[in-house]
Every structure is written in structure tokens, then in C-alpha cells.
Amino acid sequence: MAVGFVDCHCHMSAEEFSQDVEDIIERSKKKGVQVLVSVTEHEGEFKRIISLSERFPDYIMPCFGIHPIQNCLEGLRSVTIKDLEPALAQFYNYKDRLVAIGEVGLDFTPWLAPTSVQREEQLKVFQMQMDIAKDLDLPINVHSRSAGHQTIAFLKEQGAQKVLLHNFAGRPSVALEGVRAGFYFSFPPAVTRNEQRVKLIKQIPLEHICLETDSPSLGPKKEERNEPSNIHLSCEYIASVKGLKAEFVREVTTHNALGLFSNIHK
């Protein structure tokens, strides 16, 4: 039996998937996806992702996390401790259901977190969720936009061990610091339209790479909704960059994912 794909970072509780989730799941299964590791961005998604994991047992694997950028009525803004506080009990209430803490991390995009006060609060929110991950012995699914160096340095400083850096776009030298720390890196189908990642993918050993879609975002076409069924595009692109067979990349990345997200086996 062929080894299936593991989508290590997607957003199945996103509003964009609310109307046709059954069809999306059916398409992903037909494309050989065996597991979806689904992250959240705010506490309002927690119950929905648990509900989806109950509707699709052994297929949708839930993660809880508070993203460093929050989408509010007034628009996007940097996360605060107040965004995390209402969620804290939920991590523990559902601890036996979770496969990771995520999506968490740092986003120092200048127009979203321009001040040192905002960035310090992001670090605090990130640290608090890392502490939960350590307490529950769960990996962390990490966002690092415009903060690749700071994110990896902070993860190492905090002694984080089980780490996936999703859609990493930092310098190869920074990524290799993460490789030496034992971290994993995942890439979505959007890499097929961005040659800037070629050098990065070439230098990160396959033993430290996983596959993701980040669906409904970061698909092969910017204007179209992305789905987990597109994960084969990430696999094929990584294979072409590294000069390997796609089947081999699929097998190794799935082995990596199942090792990192060990609660999938439960």
C-alpha cells in the first residue's frame, strides 16, 4: 500500500471551507492525503475544529493556537495577552484530543507590529503557548513572518524540541540553525510560483522537511482557494528542486510528519 501524504498545516475550520467541507475531504482522500493537521488562529475556532475532528475521526487532527496577528472588526492587529487568556483553559480541557499547539509564533510585519511593545507582547504570547506545549508534551506549529531569525533564536532559547516552522521564508543560514536544533520545515503549494525558495529547499535536508498546504491560503494560484488536495504540488516541486523522485519525497516527509506529530498514532 502506498504511503499517503500528511498535510502538516492547514485551516479546516476556516470560514472558506464551511459550505463544502465534505467535498474537500473527498477530494483530498482521492489525491492520497491520509491526515490533515489542522491549526487554529483564535479561540473562536477551537470548538469548530474539535467538531470537525469528531465528524472526520482519524483524518482531521486538531491543533489549538492563538496566531500572532489577529483579525478584528477594525482590521488586522498584533496579538495581545487578552487574546490568549480566554483560551488557556481550553488547551487543558481538550489536551487528549490535540496533536500540536498551533498556529503560534511571531509576525513582525512592519505595518502590523511596528513597535517594540507589540513585539514584546507577541513574544510573551508565544512563550506562554510554548510552555503549554511543553506541559502537554506536544509539538508546536509555528508561524514566522518577517521574524525568521528571531523565531528560531527564541525557540532555541526556550529549549523547544518538537517544532514545525511552516512556510518558512528566512535565509538558508537561519534555517540551518533550526535544522541543527532538530526543527522541521514545511512548504505549501505557493512555492511553485516563488523561485526565492529554491535555495532554501535545496539546503534543508529532506529529513527535516514536511509538506503542507496552509489551505485555504498559499495555493498554486494566488486568486484561488487552496485545498489539501493540492499537497502533491508541494511534493513534486520539492522533488524537482532536489532531483529526487516524488514518491521518495512523499515517503520521507510522511515519515517525518508522523514522527513529529506522534499523537496522530493515538
Q: What is the pLDDT of residues 50-61, one digit of tens each?
A: 999 999 999 999
Confidence check: pLDDT of 266 > 90: no
Q: Does 208 belong to an annotated binding site?
A: no
- Sign, CA dihedral 190-195-199-202, equals positive
Q: What are phi and psi of 60, to 5 degrees?
A: -90, 120
Average pLDDT over residues 183-202: 94
Q: Does 11 belong to an annotated binding site?
A: yes
Average pLDDT over residues 157-185: 97
Contacting residues for 62 by C-beta, under 8 A, at least 6 apart:
38, 40, 49, 50, 52, 53, 94, 97, 98, 99
The answer to whether 48 and 12 are in contact (CB under 8 A) is: no
Average pLDDT over residues 66-95: 96
Q: Does 214 belong to an annotated binding site?
A: yes
Q: Does 166 belong to an annotated binding site?
A: yes
Nearest to 122 by CA among 63, 70, 58, 179: 70
Q: Does 23 belong to an annotated binding site?
A: no
Q: What pLDDT band is residue 48 in, cutting at 50, 70 and 90?
A: very high
Average pLDDT over residues 245-257: 98
Confidence check: pLDDT of 133 > 90: yes
Share of the chain above pLDDT 90, in %: 95
Cell 507577541 belongs to which residue? 122
β-strands 5-10, 140-145: how paired? unpaired
Which carries the bigger pLDDT value, residue 266 or residue 20?
20
Fold of domain 5-265:
TIM Barrel (3.20.20)
Q: What pLDDT band is residue 73 in, cutting at 50, 70 and 90?
A: confident
Give the per-residue pLDDT at 72.
87
Give the per-residue pLDDT at 134.
97
Give the per-residue pLDDT at 127.
98
Q: What pLDDT band is residue 9 in, cutting at 50, 70 and 90?
A: very high
Confidence check: pLDDT of 74 > 90: no
The answer to whether 10 and 215 are in contact (CB under 8 A) is: yes
- Sign, CA dihedral 230-54-40-59, equals negative
Helix, strand, or coil (residue 13): coil
Cell 489542522 belongs to which residue? 38
Give the per-residue pLDDT at 196.
84
- H helices present in 137-245, as ranges: 148-157, 172-180, 198-203, 231-242
Q: What are phi and psi of 115, to 5 degrees?
A: -105, 155
Nearest to 62 by CA among 76, 72, 74, 48: 48
Confidence check: pLDDT of 1 > 70: no
Give the per-residue pLDDT at 3.
83
Q: What residue segments make up the domains of the chain, in order of their start? A: 5-265
State the pTM of this model.
0.96
Name all contacts of 153-157 with Cβ < 8 Å and 24+ positions apart: 153/177, 154/106, 154/123, 154/126, 154/127, 155/130, 155/181, 155/183, 156/181
Name all contacts of 171-174 with Cβ < 8 Å and 24+ positions apart: 171/200, 172/199, 172/200, 172/203, 172/204, 174/148, 174/149
β-strands 163-166, 69-72: how paired? unpaired
Cell 510554548 belongs to which residue? 130
Q: Does 9 belong to an annotated binding site?
A: yes
Mean model confidence pLDDT for the chain: 96
**Any bridge partners for residue 143, and if so which?**
105
